[in-house]
Structure 1
Amino acid sequence: MLSSLTVKNYALIQSLNVDIFSGMSVITGETGAGKSILLGALGLVLGKRADLSVVYDKNQKCVVEACFNVKDYDLIEFFEKHDLDFEEITTIRREILPSGKSRAFVNDTPTNLSVLTELSQKLIDIHSQHETLQLADQQFQFEIIDAIGVNKFLLNQYQEIYKERRILKKELRSLEEQIEKERENQAYNQFILDELQAANLKVGEIEMLEDVLHKLSHAEEIQNNLVSAVDLADDEQIGLNSNLILFKSFVDKIAKYDRNFQIIFERLQSNIIDFQDIVDELRNEMDRVEADPDQLQRTNDRLQLLYDLLKKHRASDIEELLIIEKDFERKVNLTEQATDLIKIKENKIKQVEEELTILASQISDNRKEAADLFTKRLHEKLSFLEMKNTRLNIVFSKATILLSNGFDEMNFYISSDAGKTFDLVKKIASGGEMSRIMLAVKNILSQLSQLPTIIFDEIDTGVSGEVSKKVAYVMKEMGRYMQVLAITHLPQIAANGSHHYKVFKDVSEGSVTSNIKELREEERIKELAEMLGGKELTASALAHAKELLSV
Structure 2
Amino acid sequence: MLTQLAIRDYAIVESLDLELSGGMTAITGETGAGKSILLGALGLCLGERADSASVRHGCERADVSARFEIAALPAAQAWLEARELPTDDCLLRRVVTAAGRSKAWINGQPATIADLKALGERLVEIHGQHAHQALLREETHLGLLDEVAGQREAVAELADTFRRWQASRRRLKQLTASGDETEARRQLLRYQVEELDALALGEGELPALEQEQAELAHAEETQCEAQFAADCCDHDEGGALSQLTRATGRLAGLPPQAQARLAETLGMLEEARIQIEEAARELHRFVDTTELDPERLAWVESRLAEVHRIARKHQVMPEELEAHHRALREELDGLEGSDQAIETLRDEVVALRDAWRRQAHKVGEARRRAAGRFAKAVQEQLGFLAMGKARFEVAVESRETPQPEGLEAVRFLISANPGQPPRPLAKVASGGELSRISLAIQVVAAQHATIPSLVFDEVDVGVSGATAEIVGRLLRRLGEGGQVMTVTHLPQVAAQAHQHLHIAKQARQDATRTRMALLDEGGRVSELARMLGGVTLSDRTLAHAREMLDAGQRSAHH
Which residue does 1:129 correspond to in 2? Answer: 129
In the alignment, is residue 385 of structure 1 matched against residue 402 of structure 2?
no
Q: Within 5 Å, give how 1:280-291 maps onto structure 2.
A: none
Give 3-state SS (helix, strand or coil) of 1:479's partner.
Answer: helix
| Amino acid of the structure 1 residue aligned with 2:126 | I
SS in 2 for 1:129: coil
Displacement over 6 Å in runs of 4+:
183-186
Query: For residue 111 of structure 2, what is the amino acid of its counterpart?
Result: T
Contact 1:84 1:106 in 2 (8 A): no
What amino acid does structure 1 have at the position aligned with 2:144?
Answer: I
- Tell me what 1:302 maps to: none
In the other structure, the counterpart of 2:514 is 514
Distance 1:160 1:185 in 2: 31
Aligned to 1:227: none
**In structure 1, how many angstroms separate the alpha carbons of the residues matched to 2:415 and 2:129?**
20
- Whether contact under 8 Å (2:175, 2:182) holds in the other structure is no
**1:304-323 equivalence runs, <5 A:** none
Q: Is the 8 A contact 1:127 1:456 kept in 2?
A: yes
User: What's the counterpart of residue 16 of structure 1?
Assistant: 16
Residues in 1 aligned to 2:344 and 2:99: alpha-carbon distance in whole angstroms: 60
Contact 2:374 2:394 in 1 (8 A): no
SS in 1 for 2:532: helix
Q: Which amino acid aligns with 2:76?
A: L
Q: Does 1:42 align with 2:34?
A: no
Structure 1 pair 344–534 and aligned structure 2 pair: CA distance change class (3 A): same
1:446 maps to a residue whose letter is A
- Alignment partners' CA distance in 1, 2:59 and 2:164: 53
Report the CA distance shift for 1:70/1:426 in structure 2 as closer, same or farther (over 3 A): farther
- Post-superposition Cα deviations, 1:402-461, rounded to whole Å, max 9, x if no partner, equal 321222222222222333333323445533323222221222223223135332222323
- Structure 1 pair 181/57, CA: closer, same or farther in 2 (3 Å)? closer
One-letter identity of the residue aligned with 2:385: L
CA distance in 1, matches of 2:341, 2:485: 60
- How far does residue 46 in structure 1 lie from its aligned partner after superposition? 3.0
Asked if structure 2 preserves the Cα contact closer than 8 Å seen for 1:127 and 1:457, the reply is yes
1:366-515 superposed matches below 5 A? 366-428=366-428, 430-451=430-451, 453-507=453-507, 511-515=511-515
Q: Flag the 1:52–1:156 CA change in 2: closer, same or farther, 3 A.
A: closer
Question: How far off its partner does 1:28 sit?
Answer: 1.4
Letter in 1 for 2:171: E
> d(CA) in 2 for partners of 1:405 and 1:53?
37
Identity of aligned residues (%): 30
Q: State the alpha-carbon separation in 2 of the partners of residues 480 and 4 from structure 1.
A: 19
Matches within 5 A, 1:187-198: none
The whole-number CA distance in structure 1 between the counterparts of 2:386 and 2:420 is 17
CA RMSD of superposed structures (Å): 3.3
Post-superposition Cα deviations, 1:86-141, rounded to whole Å, max 9, x if no partner, equal: 43432222223355533222222223333333433433333333232222444532
Cα contact 2:371–2:395 (8 A) shared by 1: no
Give the corresponding residue for 2:75. 74
Using the TM superposition, give the Cα deviation of residue 9 of structure 1 relative to its aligned residue in structure 2, in angstroms. 1.6
**How does 1:56-455 map onto structure 2 within 5 Å?**
56-71=56-71, 72=73, 74-79=75-80, 83=83, 85-152=85-152, 154-177=154-177, 179=179, 181=181, 345-428=345-428, 430-451=430-451, 453-455=453-455
CA shift at 1:515, angstroms? 0.6
Structure 1: how far apart are the matches of 2:78 and 2:400? 34
Name the SS for the 2:398 alignment partner: strand
Residue matched to 2:4: 4
SS at match of 2:501: strand
Contact 1:377 1:444 in 2 (8 A): yes
2 CA distance for matches of 1:88 and 1:492? 38
Name the amino acid aligned to 1:39: L
Instruction: Specify the SS of the correspondent of 1:177.
Output: coil
Structure 1 residues 102 and 155: alpha-carbon distance in aligned structure 2, compared to 1, 3 A threshold: closer
Q: Is the 1:382–1:436 Cα contact (8 Å) retained in structure 2? A: yes
**Distance in 2, Cα, partners of 1:414 & 1:429:** 8
Name the CA distance, whole Å, in 1 between partners of 2:53 and 2:425: 38
Match in the other structure for 1:205? none
Unpaired segments ≥5 residues, structure 2: 189-328, 552-558
SS in 2 for 1:356: helix
Q: Does the 8 A contact of 1:506 with 1:513 survive in 2?
A: yes
- State whether residues 390 and 418 of structure 1, in contact with CA within 8 Å, keep that contact through their aligned partners in structure 2: yes
Number of equivalences: 409
Task: Give the counterpart letter for 2:421 in structure 1.
Answer: T
**Secondary structure in 1 aligned to 2:95?**
strand
**1:177 partner letter:** A
- The whole-number CA distance in structure 2 between the counterparts of 1:52 and 1:350 is 50
How far 1:179 sits from its partner (Å)? Answer: 5.0
Q: Distance in 1 between matches of 2:445 and 2:525?
A: 32
Contact 2:76–2:123 (8 Å) recurs in 1: no
Amino acid at match of 1:63: D
TM-score by length of 1: 0.66
In the TM superposition, what whole-angstrom CA distance separates every residue of 1:33-53 from its partner, at most 9, and x where no partner exists?
Answer: 221333333333233443444
Structure 2 distance, partners of 1:134, 1:451, is 21
Q: Is the 8 A contact 2:53 2:98 kept in 1?
A: no
Amino acid in the other structure paired with 1:462? G
Query: Residues 18 and 350 from structure 1, CA distance in 2 versus in 1: closer, same or farther, beyond 3 angstroms?
Result: same
Q: Which 10-residue stretch deviates more, 539-548 or 8-17?
A: 539-548
| Partner Cα separation in structure 1 for residue 97 and residue 445 of structure 2 | 40
Conserved? CA contact 2:8–2:15, under 8 Å: yes
When residues 363 and 44 of structure 1 are mapped into structure 2, their CA distance, relative to the original with a 3 A threshold, is closer
Q: Which residue of 2 aligns with 1:245?
A: none
Is 1:129–1:431's contact at 8 Å kept on the other side of the alignment?
no
Aligned-residue offset at 1:493? 0.6
SS in 1 for 2:94: strand
Tell me the distance in 2 between the aligned counterparts of 1:472 and 1:536: 26
TM-score, length of structure 2 as denominator length: 0.65
The separation in 1 between residues aligned to 2:185 and 2:90, in whole angstroms, is 60
Describe the shift of the 1:360–1:512 C-alpha distance in structure 2 as closer, same or farther (beyond 3 A).
closer
- Cα distance in 2 for partners of 1:547, 1:128 equals 30
